[in-house]
Amino acid sequence: MKFIDLALEPRSLRDAMEMASLAKIMGYRLVAVENNDPQRAREYARVFTGEGIEALTRVTIEAESWGKTVNILKRIALSFDLVAVKPKSAEAARLAARDPRVGLIVLPPGMARYMDKSQTAMLREGGAAIEIRFLPLLYGGDPRASLRGTMIIARRAAAYEAPLVVTSGARTRWEMWHPRAVQAMLVAFGLPETIAKLAVTGYPAAIVNTKARYHSQGREAD
Amino acid sequence: MQLETAVLAALATGLAGYMAWDIYSRRVLERRIETLEKQLNSLAAEMGRVLKAAGYALQSINAEEFLEKLRRRRRRRYIAFIVVYEGEQPPSPQEVERAIIRATERLAGQLTVALARLQLVYYDPEKAAGILRASHDTKYLVLAALGLVRRIGDRRAIIIPVRTSGTIKRAKRALAVARRRLP
């Protein structure tokens, strides 16, 4: 089975090396490395490739208004394999989902309200997926905030049949999640086993096949 | 005349005697009936108590059978895992078990820990690999809780689930294969 984690954020080369060796033990076959500097992201991605794990580069854009975000997107989209958008407003969430350059819409636990029927329709139109990060679950806090928010987004995505991608957002190897633990957590949230499995295998693979290819085609055209 | 009077007196005495005897025998009969009624009532009460006790006994037998069925249905799962830890010294089995129980408690509460009957059935401190037993209906919760374990004792650590199986033998075999694959 091809396990995929589309958000790893190593802070240094050493972290990247440690994460790459652990990712190999955990059975990941493809990862996306996040860094704002495309050069550094590629450098870290090469570390993963050296361990035999396919690696992409990715960037996350925080979007308050879509007008400003489109300009940023135009500038940086071609430097990375995958673009994710973290919306700060409902308008940004909807329009980002429709944009063919955007692969993932990152919804933090507090933004569960954006995951609704019209968001699903937009996601279908643009071919993007909803991304949930499991990093906030590690740091405890009020379960009504992080755990409940994450659970609601996952449940709504499953109910509306929206593609759902779960990532770790790990910055060091101690923050990485084993794909089986991710699957089990989704099942514990009340999702069907098949969808839980797709969230770490099929859905991210589909995003990589459609969106990452889109970028490579763009680069080739340039 | 005197004879008639004597006959009449004798008849009257006889009648009076008969009536007295009749009243007496009726009273005796009534008393007997009362006694019999009392005995019957006490017997009925006794029977009621016996029936009640028999009902309780039957109920407890049914409850026992039901519990036995539940016990039989409570299947076990063995989760083989490897611990990746910081530093040189691998964590002790007590530390590992405590960390897992704490994480399960944090995620799903004490009731789940009790229902899951969590137990570290095997642990090799040298290889930092072990097998955890849980009930099959709490398997996913326990696996999810394993993902939340980030510290064992005072050191940072991660638990990597290798395989979940129904027998300890297969779990041990999976563990051996996984250990061979590790660098």
Mean per-residue pLDDT for B38-59?
A: 90
What average pLDDT does the structure give for chain B?
89
A102 touches chain B (CB under 8 A): no
Tokens of B158: 């991660």
Q: Which residues pair with A58 in a beta bridge?
A: A34, A82
- Could you tell me if residue A90 is inside a domain? yes
Mean per-residue pLDDT for A1-5?
A: 87
**CATH number of the domain bearing residue A132:** 3.20.20.140
Q: What residue segments make up the domains of chain B, in order of their start?
A: 1-73, 75-181
Q: Residues with Cβ < 8 Å from A215, sequence gap 6 or more?
A: A77, A78, A80, A81, A82, A83, A101
Q: Pick A188's closest partner by Cβ from B144, B150, B182.
A: B144
* Choice among A24-28, A175-179, A208-212, B36-40 with the minimum mean pLDDT: A208-212
Q: Which residues in chain B are closer than 8 Å to A183, comparing Cβ atoms? A: 143
Residue B31: which pLDDT band, with cuts at 50, 70 and 90?
Answer: very high
Side by side, which strands form the sheet with A54-63? Answer: A3-8, A28-34, A54-63, A82-87, A104-106, A129-133, A164-167
Q: Residues with Cβ < 8 Å from A164, sequence gap 6 or more?
A: A129, A130, A132, A154, A157, A158, A195, A198, A199, A203
Q: In angstroms, rounded to a whole number, what is the distance separating the alpha carbons of residues A113 and B73?
A: 41
- Could you tell me if residue A194 is inside a domain? yes
Q: Which residues in chain A are closer than 8 Å to B160, comparing Cβ atoms? A: 25-26, 178
A170 touches chain B (CB under 8 A): no
Gap from A179 CA to chain B (nearest CA, Å): 9
For chain A, the domain total comes to 1
Contact A188 B106 (CB under 8 A): no
In the predicted structure, residue B131 carries a pLDDT above the cut 70: yes
pTM: 0.77
Encode pLDDT of A187-200 as tens digits.
Answer: 999 999 999 999 99
In the predicted structure, residue B182 carries a pLDDT above the cut 70: no
Encode pLDDT of A90-147 as tens digits.
Answer: 888 888 888 888 889 998 888 888 888 888 888 888 888 999 999 888 887 777 778 8
Mean per-residue pLDDT for A18-45?
A: 91
Mean per-residue pLDDT for B62-80?
A: 79
What are the φ and ψ backbone dihedral angles of A100, each rounded to 5 degrees? Answer: -70, -15
In CATH, which superfamily holds the domain spanning B75-181?
Ribonuclease P, Pop5 subunit (3.30.70.3250)
Domain that holds residue A86: 60-221
Q: Pick A185's closest partner by Cβ from B139, B147, B157.
A: B147
In the predicted structure, residue A221 carries a pLDDT above the cut 50: no
pLDDT of residue B72: 65
In the predicted structure, residue A220 carries a pLDDT above the cut 50: no
- Could you tell me if residue A8 is inside a domain? no
- Could you tell me if residue A38 is inside a domain? no
